[in-house]
């Protein structure tokens, strides 16, 4: 597997609980390319602990996973959904990203294995440049269960394509810092 000079966990270690082995291989670092009419962009994609953990949930198991910055309980609902993340990120050019003051995100409908129904699923991202590499760090991914006007709903006039975001990030001077959510290299 290719190694990148980035400040993030590149290979997630599997864990065992109650006699079952849980693989996190699907969250290992990978590259994704988006080819457009005008420009093409290649990103290094990493994932954060919040993609498969949550401290309070009916789907939490009694296992704490540590990423070097924090420890959180594994949530089986999020863990199962996280298996879809690489394919979801690969299809990002077909989605619009929305931005709040603190994050970029998008939502889609995803089958929740815990309920057996399609539910809104929110994926939060940090998109930045690190050591001349364009990087997408998935900070969190979860089933969004909010009412009208909640943070899970998109703001229609504030949407961007991955090409617009990539162009803006590419044109910025070298980043002076990495978003803290994206800096999760094990110590």
> What is the rounded CA–CA span in Å between residue 167 and residue 52?
30
Does the residue 49 lie in any domain? yes
- Whole-angstrom Cα distance, residue 99 to residue 116? 30
Rounded CA-CA distance 49/138 in Å is 9
Q: Are 19 and 4 in contact (CB under 8 A)?
A: no
Q: Is residue 7 part of a domain?
A: no
128 near 178, Cβ under 8 Å? yes
Per-residue pLDDT of the chain (187 residues; tens, 9 = 90+): 678 888 889 999 999 999 999 999 999 999 999 998 889 999 999 999 999 999 888 899 999 999 888 999 999 999 999 999 999 999 999 999 998 766 789 999 999 998 999 999 999 999 989 888 999 999 999 998 755 444 445 555 578 899 999 998 888 776 555 665 566 555 4
Count of domains for the chain: 1
**Distance between CA 139 and CA 89 in Å, rounded?**
12
Domain that holds residue 145: 15-182
User: Is 2 contained in some domain?
Assistant: no
Check residue 51 and give left, alpha or beta (phi > 0: left; psi -120 to 50: alpha).
Answer: alpha
| 5 domain residue, yes or no | no
Task: Output the pTM of the full model.
Answer: 0.87
* Residue 9 included in any domain: no
């Amino acid at each position: 597997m290719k190694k990148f000079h980035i400040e993030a966990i590149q290979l997630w270690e599997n864990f065992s609980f109650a006699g079952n082995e849980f693989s996190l291989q699907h969250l290992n670092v990978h590259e994704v390319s988006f080819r457009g009419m005008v420009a093409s962009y290649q990103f290094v994609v990493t994932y954060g602990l919040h993609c498969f953990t949550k401290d309070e949930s009916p789907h939490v198991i009694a296992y704490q996973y540590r990423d070097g910055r924090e420890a959180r309980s594994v949530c089986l609902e999020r863990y199962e959904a996280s298996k879809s993340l690489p394919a979801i990120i690969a299809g990002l050019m077909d989605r619009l990203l929305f931005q709040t003051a603190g994050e970029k995100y998008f939502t889609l409908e995803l089958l929740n294995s815990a309920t057996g129904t399609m539910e809104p699923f929110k994926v939060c991202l940090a998109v930045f440049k690190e050591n001349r590499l364009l990087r997408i760090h998935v900070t969190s991914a979860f089933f969004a269960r909010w009412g009208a006007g909640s943070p899970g709903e998109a703001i229609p006039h504030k949407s961007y394509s991955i090409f617009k975001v990539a162009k803006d990030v590419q044109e910025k001077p070298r980043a002076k810092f990495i978003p803290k959510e994206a800096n999760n290299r094990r110590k």
